[in-house]
Amino acid sequence: MRETLNTILQTSQDFCVDPKTSTTTSLTNTKAFIKREINRTIQFTHKKLQKVFKIKSLPKTMSTVISQQYYSYPPGLNVIDTVTIDNDTTIPPLRVVQSQRDWDLMNSGPVVSGIPSHIFMRGRDFGLFPVPKAAYTLTLSGRFYPKAMFADDYAVGTVTVTQNSQTVTGLTTTFTASMVGRYFSETDSDGVAIGEFYKIGAYVSPTVLTLETVFEESSLSASTFLIGESPDLPEEIHEFIAYRVANVYYGTRRRDSKKAQEYLNYYYTGDWANTRRTGVIEGGVLGFMQDYAKNGSENSQLIDYNQPVRIDFLSEEWETVS
């Protein structure tokens, strides 16, 4: 099931002996340490899953500047897969220049300005050719680092939500714009989520939020709730995050390599001893990866049994020389 930062934090604190003080953990700040390791684990797991599960973020946009050739990557972007440009015409994604030599040859003549058609990736920035003659909107698709989670779950006040509506109306709530992208769920009297999780799509006011999809469950009236950050990972993997946090804790602060390895085994395989007598990984992150690799989906939840469509770039047009 989906977990929020608070539930992962609570489990990790339980694994690290003491959830409130630093006296038995030997940490100067237990909560800060665990939050940091939760985010590192999410980033580590996110990277491992990229080959078998599509967890790409939505594309990001940025604007070009007239006569500026090089641009830094947007925050959080790790690898660029494709770049398209909005110039009020239909054109294919920018073509990739693979080598420094080819890029230097393209730029060795007179300065060419126009609508960019080629892109050259460097360490943490990229170049466009021709040099933009105007301000264009670039749309970048690729692999983004998962957003770090630091905000505690919010559960102040009560809410009313009508079935098949996207509107969440609060009473004595203080919703904020930063809650967009977090998840909403009904809770019981102990504050435990008992409903489905719905992603928040828009902030309207301190007492009104809009969900990305309609609320499918029975209508709520003056009900308790929670709003929390949740890992950008498949829900089946959320439960294993705390085990890798405990692995780091016992391997560093406690210097207990045996217990550290047990937690790491469970993170990877769902088996404390990692015996795998059947030769099959049945749990953990590797078990999840194995299941998705077997279905042949190749980083997609939809399988296309037809031959891939080939796209040929038939024309290259550069505009003006200045």
**Residue bearing tokens 């590192």:** 40
Q: Is residue 124 part of a domain?
A: yes
Collapsed DSSP state (helix, strand, coil) of residue 73 = coil
Contact indicator for 253, 27 with CB cutoff of 8 Å:
yes
Of all helices (H) and strands (E), which one includes residue 183?
strand 183-186
| pLDDT score, position 160 | 97
Q: Do residue 51 and residue 68 come from a single domain?
A: no
Beta strands in 49-163 (DSSP E): 60-63, 70-72, 77-86, 95-96, 112-114, 118-121, 125-129, 131-132, 137-144, 158-161
For the record, the structure tokens of 195 come out as: 């409903």
| pLDDT score, position 315 | 41
Sign of CA dihedral 11, 12, 16, 18: negative
| pLDDT score, position 55 | 66
| pLDDT score, position 146 | 86
Q: Do residue 139 and residue 71 come from a single domain?
A: yes
Sheet holding 137-144, edge to edge: 60-63, 137-144, 77-86
Q: Do residue 220 and residue 246 come from a single domain?
A: no
For the record, the structure tokens of 180 come out as: 């967009």
| pLDDT score, position 310 | 44
| pLDDT score, position 318 | 43
Q: Do residue 46 and residue 66 come from a single domain?
A: no
Query: Tell me, what DSSP letter sits at residue 96?
Result: E
Low-confidence ranges of the chain (pLDDT < 50): 297, 304-305, 307-322
Q: Do residue 67 and residue 111 come from a single domain?
A: yes
Q: Is residue 312 part of a domain?
A: no
Q: Do residue 1 and residue 48 come from a single domain?
A: yes
Integer Cα distance of 107 and 93 in angstroms: 20
Q: Tell me the backbone φ, ψ of residue 208, rounded to 5 degrees.
A: -140, 130
Contact indicator for 231, 238 with CB cutoff of 8 Å:
yes
Integer Cα distance of 128 and 116 in angstroms: 6
| pLDDT score, position 216 | 95
Q: Which amino acid is at 91?
A: I
Contact indicator for 63, 136 with CB cutoff of 8 Å:
yes
Last residue of a domain, one of 144, 163, 180: 144
CATH number, residue 170:
2.40.30
Q: Do residue 133 and residue 197 come from a single domain?
A: no
Look at the chain and report how many structural domains it folds into: 3
Question: Which residues span the domain enclosing 48?
Answer: 1-55+233-297
Q: Is residue 314 part of a domain?
A: no
Q: Is residue 38 part of a domain?
A: yes
Q: Do residue 222 and residue 203 come from a single domain?
A: yes
Q: Is residue 316 part of a domain?
A: no
Last residue of a domain, one of 205, 228, 251: 228
List beta partners, residue 208. 169, 205
For the record, the structure tokens of 298 come out as: 């190749």
Q: Do residue 97 and residue 162 come from a single domain?
A: no
Last residue of a domain, one of 89, 114, 144: 144
Contact indicator for 142, 82 with CB cutoff of 8 Å:
yes
Q: Do residue 106 and residue 67 come from a single domain?
A: yes
Integer Cα distance of 40 and 259 in angstroms: 20
Q: Do residue 213 and residue 281 come from a single domain?
A: no
Q: Is residue 197 part of a domain?
A: yes
Q: Is residue 282 part of a domain?
A: yes
Q: Is residue 305 part of a domain?
A: no
| pLDDT score, position 313 | 40
Integer Cα distance of 67 and 95 in angstroms: 19
| pLDDT score, position 268 | 93
